[in-house]
Amino acid sequence: MAKKLLSKSAIKFIVALRNDETQCYSFSDISKLVVDKFGVEVSWQTIAYHYKRNKDIDTSSLSQVKPKSKLAELFEQRKAEKSASQITSQPAPKPIQKPYRPSNSLLDENGEEPEWMKIANMSVPEFKEYKAKKAAEKAAKKAEEANQKLEN
């Protein structure tokens, strides 16, 4: 089971009790008060550690809300403006893919693109037309072969 950590308010409570000039609290007394108020069991060593680490914080201003400076307000305003989603009237245009131009080493002996490269650069309608043309050529070739077999 994970240990419960001391919250910042609990640490400020510890510092306030230890710095109280009207009453003297020991670390073990403060440990009992923290258990009563925050429901977190801590050893006196933990209380001592957190007190020594945070004894310089100002506990008198814990309940007061500090007003923000003009600079901080301006900074938050600009940060909100930057993070706000920007609505445009038109969607951004989709990038147009340029066809691949082969280098001279990819050209065949006639100086033309190989067939696989032509297919790769075709749009969908061009590719469908190409497939239909190839299927028609294949069917014509089969019909021609069948006619030759019948003649022989």
Q: What is the per-residue DSSP string for 70-129?
A: HHHHHHHHHHHHHHSPPP-SSPPPPPPPPPP---GGGS-TTSS--HHHHHHT--HHHHHH
How much is the pLDDT for 100? 65
Model pTM? 0.38
pLDDT value at position 135? 94
**∠122-124-127 over CA atoms, to 5°?**
60
Residue type, 118: K
Per-residue pLDDT of the chain (152 residues; tens, 9 = 90+): 456 678 888 888 888 888 888 888 888 899 899 999 988 888 989 888 988 888 887 655 554 555 667 888 888 888 888 877 666 677 777 877 776 665 666 666 776 777 777 788 888 889 899 999 999 999 999 999 999 988 87
Q: Which amino acid is at 64?
A: Q
Domain ranges in the chain? Answer: 8-54, 111-151
Burial of 14 (0-12, 13-18, 19+ CB in 10 A): buried
Q: Smallest Cα–Cα separation from 121: which of 112, 109, 111, 133?
A: 112
34 residue type, one letter: V
At 3 the pLDDT is: 63
Sign of the four-CA dihedral 122, 128, 133, 135:
positive
